[in-house]
Amino acid sequence: MIETESLRDLRVSRTREYLMCPPERFAVAYSINPWMDPGSPVDTDLALAQWAGLRDTLIQLGHTVHVLEAQPDLPDMVFAANGAFSVDGTVLGARFRYPQRTAEAGAHERWYAATGWRYVPANHVNEGEGDFAYLPGAHGGLVLAGYGYRTEPPAHAEAQEVLGRPVVSLRLIDPRFYHLDTALAAISDDNIAYYPSAFSLGSRQVLAQMFPDAVLADETDALAFGLNLVSDNRHVVLPAEAAGMAAKLWDAGYVPVTVDLGELKKGGGSVKCCIAELRA
Ligand code: ARG
Using alpha carbons, select from 231, 212, 131 the residue that is nearest to residue 177. Answer: 131
Per-residue pLDDT reduced to its tens digit, 57-102: 999 999 999 999 999 999 999 999 999 999 999 999 999 999 999 9
Confidence of residue 6 (pLDDT cuts 50, 70, 90): confident
d(CA 188, CA 7): 13
DSSP letter for each residue of 10-75 = HPPP---EEEE---TT----S-SSTT--TTS---HHHHHHHHHHHHHHHHHTT-EEEEPPP-TT-T
Select from 28, 40, 82, 265 the residue to mutate for testing ligand 1; criterion: most ligand atoms less than 8 Å from CB. 82
Decide if 230 contacts 275 (C-beta within 8 A): yes
Whether pLDDT at 160 is above 80: yes
Report pLDDT for 74: 98
Residues 214-249 pLDDT 10s? 999 999 999 999 999 999 999 999 999 999 999 999
pLDDT at 62: 98
| Catalytic (active-site) positions | 179, 273
In the prediction, which pLDDT does 255 show? 97
- Residue to probe by mutation, ligand 1, list 30, 33, 144, most atoms within 8 Å of CB: 33
Question: Is the CB of residue 128 below 6 angstroms from any atom belonging to ligand 1?
Answer: no
4-277 adopts what CATH topology? L-arginine/glycine Amidinotransferase; Chain A (3.75.10)
Q: Is the C-beta atom of 249 inside 6 A of ligand 1? A: no
Q: pLDDT band for 269, please (50, 70, 90 cuts).
A: very high
Indicate whether residue 256 lines ligand 1 (CB < 6 A).
no
Percent of the chain residues topping a pLDDT of 70: 99
2 — pLDDT class (breaks 50, 70, 90): low
Phi, psi of 38 (to 5 degrees): -60, -15
Q: Is the CB of 76 within 6 Å of ligand 1?
A: yes
Question: Hey, where are the domains in the chain?
Answer: 4-277
- Residue 100 carries which DSSP code? G
- Please give the pLDDT value at position 4: 79
Reported as a pLDDT band with limits 50, 70 and 90, residue 7 is confident
Distance 66 CA to ligand 1 centre (A): 20
In the reported structure, the alpha carbon of residue 275 is separated from the centroid of ligand 1 by a whole-number distance in angstroms of: 11
- Closest-CA residue, ligand 1 atom 7, reads 269
